[in-house]
Amino acid sequence: MTDTADNRLLAGKTALVTGASKGIGAATAKALAAAGAHVVLTARTGAALEATEQAIFDAGGSATIAPVDLAEPEGIARLATAIGQRWQALDVLVINAAMLPALTPAWQIDSKDLNKAFTLNVLATQALIAGFDGMLKRSAAGKLIGVTSSVGAAPRAYWGAYGATKAAFDNLLDAYAQETRDISNLRVAIVDPGATRTAMRAKAYPGEDPASVKPPEVVGEAIVELCGKQFASPHRLRVNAS
């Protein structure tokens, strides 16, 4: 008799990854799917998500695309409703989508640029927490993984705008972790990917050789490994080059 049981780490689990069209988000989505999860892919444009979805299908995985502009006031609420109608619980939520405002002295920060960054990096994070709190708590071992930056905890010249949003991002996730750890099985982790080969990195360091930093797949694999572990909440992880 053939054993058809799926023994992959996340077999039968449902995951949602924001910013899944490229970089760390796409790499994480592919890694989650390879581990057996059905992955809901979200980003602003469906065309960009289709490449990630196709790569998952080609590798034998399962995914659904859900184009959403997380900066739209009602976008996340619509996403949460749609996912809640199809699945009872959400086992993994990876909050990865983020905007890098212009690197500039603090006194020259453009207010419109800063508002956009806070909308996506902070306000959307709170909306995702609010929208998926119930589904994450209904999971037997829910995981919320937030992708942060070292400048949120260690301020750096010219990075004040982005660092401020990531400091707020970390604070929100840390508070949520403390609020939920004693009343549910949900666990929260804040992941600092470190120097990684992404479009955001290239924008910040235009003269850098991309081959000198690790590929996003290293971060994706680290996040999947974390999803299979038991850890105290909140958990902090720095991903170094392998």
Q: Which residues are catalytic?
A: 162
The SS3 assignment for 130 reads: helix
Give me the residue label for tokens 């994070």. Answer: 125
Give me Rg for the CA atoms of the chain.
17
Question: Which residues contact residue 28 at a Cβ distance below 8 angstroms, ignoring those fewer than 6 apart?
Answer: 17, 20, 94, 96, 216, 219, 220, 223, 224
- Would you call 166 exposed, middle or buried from its count of C-beta atoms within 10 A (0-12, 13-18, 19+)? buried
Phi/psi class of residue 227: alpha, beta or left (left: φ > 0; alpha: ψ in -120 to 50)? alpha
Judged on CB neighbours under 10 Å (0-12, 13-18, 19+), 145 is buried
